[in-house]
Chain A
């Protein structure tokens, strides 16, 4: 319980501390950010260790007849680990990226605050706690979206808030309806709605999916995500490729497996439609991505597409599908963050944001571009990288559910991914070397180190998927 409070509050306390120290104490602020993100990750690992060893850690705060219940289960622990571990990497990266940029105090304060909220989402033990942290996550990331303060940023911020608050509104209605149907909101003790007859629950599931689908960027609820790319790259990388969007995916997983349960969900008519919506998003997302010239935009639409990999895995209501979904959350996150980090380096050190202008960037940024290439291979689903396994499980799940067309969707998406991203790398290394070598200095090292480590991680997991498998297995055993 002690660790639980610390895991959630280290981000929040860190954020408040950053806000409290004077503006010009840059070094001190960096130490605080580093220490508190490390603490957050450390405590999340401690909590996860308890959860996976079967010990129960919980915390309940009474709010009248309702209560805020915080109790991580394997799914929550996995999500908490992904988020808090990648946070640490992003902190280091942003020391390099943000150097010399404006409004650093605001940036780091809300950056840490969002860590606390994401861990809260992960560890919440009932729908009310989940809703609270989910809503707070929206508010604490808003200042990061509008960081640039220009008219574009303000517009993106307004879009971000409107989409996410509307989603949260749908979720709130659904939660209250769940409460009035089942009389409880806790995830423990089997699915909340288990035992109810399926009649009339279609719209409830739809409401939940629409609500969480906003953050998970299901089409057509995805429009806020490309707009939010005006934020600084660390934010795009961590929040809008990993933490925030995955909390949407996490919410969908929660709804299907902890609120409805796969048996009840299987009886609903709507669950026959959901996989196809996800499949559509996978293909449409990556096709739109291919038409974008700004690298961050292309990556954003790729995010839209890849988030639906996990959703599709969840929607087929099959154990391999769930395994694939969880595995993809882990694997995709490590590589997607790498892609964004690379995009950030390209724009900072080489000054290019447009793909068409990136000819010849490779020789001046050799490490960056090779790491970018590795991550691209991962996104396609090639073997030495971890995403091969998640894709494999997802396809296995689709076939096991008797729907081989869905498996073809993954193949098709992989091919389009290749067509979409490999030319960038080829182009970057071809042509004249026009720019000087620019991966030098402390700033470049701070940005490159996290990338290299992440890619090494991804390859290690790809070669020995057994490292992460116990976590995935624990999640699947929870629900099947």
Chain B
């Protein structure tokens, strides 16, 4: 029994949230039950991905699952490799405290029980799609999951009953559809010249024939880069993100910024390394493009973040900047750089989630959105602001916090590849990051507080904040197991030539 559960784990972690999502639609009135089910499913998936990670880690090979028992060229394959389980672990971990945070807290933001239940349905669909992206090994499946994720993101963005939310969601829908189309086009081109959709087969075939079809490969590359660039808000394709992430309810912002954009990046990572492969990326100088695009995103995103006066918009632009690090890291094609990227991805996922949740708590307690209006809130809401500070330290990359380890390996990787430029950009980005996050901390702690009755949120929310903040610390102080897993993943990505 256990062994069959273990063998089916790659598909179970994807099915569980999708299944629960459909059950929820029938329970819309009983909101307590809905919330319980969502948190419970999250924990189940987390345990499942823990087992899966342990399994993959110990066996040192990827776990392959054939849907319906059909072998690869005919059936669809799920492959839980090190990259996949790493992301699965991060995503399923972050989704639990985020759903815990929304317990008993959402109906004010989205308005009414019915809408709350709908929010959870979309939330679970998004999670399912993310877990699917982690384990899928099939190009068309990637497209399907990307679409599921996009539509549920769109729903989440518009879940607040405000005109601004609808506008943001509409912008997002238009741009994201454009992105999906490009991704589909890219997949189509690959399919035309290789005749396969399974990543492994495509890779072998593509490496055999790419020299005879360089233009098609080039087109496909660029479609993929732009398509996933739009989805993951790579500067200057980020225009949808600030509105979408800042108008969504806080748990949605946390999951959108923390996990959703990363899902697309994992897809991009897998497609670049597992489908095209190292040789093609070098041949088409994709790595240089990624490093350049990442660098521009880091600096531009940070400068834009610095210019924002609203807290949630600042955090949203910060995501644009942080995405740059990950894109840049994907372009640093060695073990250190790639493991740094993956680690950074994990660090940013937890840090950004805690920042958005804390920001949401502060905004809903005080009713104020601007940073300058939040003066002295650190003393009124100690737990929330402490979590926010930890998240800021984590994102900035102070030693003992999550961001530092990721940045360390990114810089190490870039220096190892003989290029000094990314290291300077990473440091410049960190300094800007300190500027835009610590000024919030400064205002919150060192400016006089108005005479208002602002209070920390309820117990569930506090637990969620504390769990995420401690994750930032754990990743910084005891990074070993995660680094090891990220290192394995990097080797796995680089093993295919």
Chain A residues engaging chain B, CB cutoff 8 angstroms: 62-66, 68, 106, 128, 131-132, 135-136, 139, 143, 146, 149, 161-162, 165-166, 169-170, 172-173, 176-177, 179-180
Contacts and interface: CB of A to CB of B under 8 A. Distances in A.
Contacts of B435: 161-162
A228 to B, nearest CB: 16
A132 B399 contact: yes
Contacts of B424: 173
Given A166-B431, A173-B424, A66 B408 contact: yes
Interface string B136-157: 0000000000000000000000
B434 interface: yes
B446 A176 contact: no
Chain B interface residue bracket vs A: 20 to 34
A64 B483 contact: yes
Given A169-B431, A173-B411, A64 B479 contact: yes
B412 interface: yes
24 contacts: A62-B480, A63-B399, A63-B405, A63-B477, A64-B480, A66-B408, A106-B446, A128-B399, A131-B399, A132-B400, A146-B442, A161-B435, A165-B430, A166-B431, A169-B430, A170-B427, A172-B411, A173-B427, A176-B411, A176-B415, A176-B423, A179-B412, A180-B412, A180-B415
B299 to A, nearest CB: 13
A161 B446 CA distance: 15
B483 A65 contact: yes
Contacts of A172: 407, 411, 427
A173 B434 contact: no
B442 to A, nearest CB: 8
Contacts, number: 63
Nearest to B447: A149
A47 to B, nearest CB: 22
B427 A169 contact: yes
Interface in B367-385: none
A294 to B, nearest CB: 25
Contacts of A177: 415, 423
B319 to A, nearest CB: 21
A346 to B, nearest CB: 29
A247 to B, nearest CB: 16
A68 B477 CA distance: 10
Nearest to A166: B431
Chain B CB within 10 Å, residue with most, of A64, A66, A135, A177? A64
Say what secondary structure dominates the interface of chain A.
helix
B189 interface: no
A176 to B, nearest CB: 5
A71 B446 CA distance: 35
Given A143-B446, A162-B435, A176 B430 contact: no
B438 interface: yes
Contacts of B62: none
Given A176-B408, A176-B412, 7 more contacts: A64-B405, A64-B479, A131-B399, A161-B435, A169-B431, A170-B427, A180-B415
A136 B398 CA distance: 9
Nearest to B430: A169
Interface of B: 398-400, 405, 407-408, 411-412, 415-416, 423-424, 427-428, 430-431, 434-435, 438, 442, 446-447, 476-480, 483
Top 6 A-B pairs, shortest CB-CB distance:
A169-B427, A132-B399, A64-B479, A176-B411, A64-B480, A165-B431
Chain B CB within 10 Å, residue with most, of A66, A131, A146, A176? A176
Nearest to A174: B423
A64 B483 CA distance: 8
A149 B446 contact: yes
Contacts of A162: 431, 435
A344 B476 CA distance: 42
Contacts of A64: 405, 478-480, 483
Chain A CB within 10 Å, residue with most, of B405, B424, B427? B427
A149 B428 CA distance: 27
A125 B476 CA distance: 20
A164 to B, nearest CB: 10
A187 B427 CA distance: 24
Contacts of A143: 446
A143 B446 CA distance: 8
A165 B399 CA distance: 13
Contacts of B434: 161, 165
Contacts of B423: 173, 176-177
A25 B420 CA distance: 53
Given A149-B446, A173-B424, A135 B480 contact: no
Contacts of B412: 176, 179-180
A408 to B, nearest CB: 39
A66 B405 CA distance: 9
B325 to A, nearest CB: 14
Nearest to A131: B399
A62 B430 CA distance: 24
Given A132-B399, A176-B412, A176-B423, A146 B431 contact: no
A202 to B, nearest CB: 13
Contacts of A128: 399
A180 B416 contact: yes
Contacts of A166: 431
B407 to A, nearest CB: 8
Given A169-B431, A177-B415, A161 B438 contact: yes
Nearest to B428: A169
A147 to B, nearest CB: 10
Contacts of A146: 442, 446
Contacts of A139: 398
Contacts of A68: 399
Contacts of A65: 480, 483
A135 B398 contact: yes
A228 B407 CA distance: 30
Contacts of B408: 66, 176
A130 B407 CA distance: 18
B445 to A, nearest CB: 8
B431 A135 contact: no
A176 B416 CA distance: 10
Nearest to B414: A176
A148 to B, nearest CB: 11
Contacts of A176: 408, 411-412, 415, 423
A337 B412 CA distance: 41
Nearest to B477: A63
A128 B423 CA distance: 17
B476 to A, nearest CB: 8
Contacts of A63: 399-400, 405, 476-479
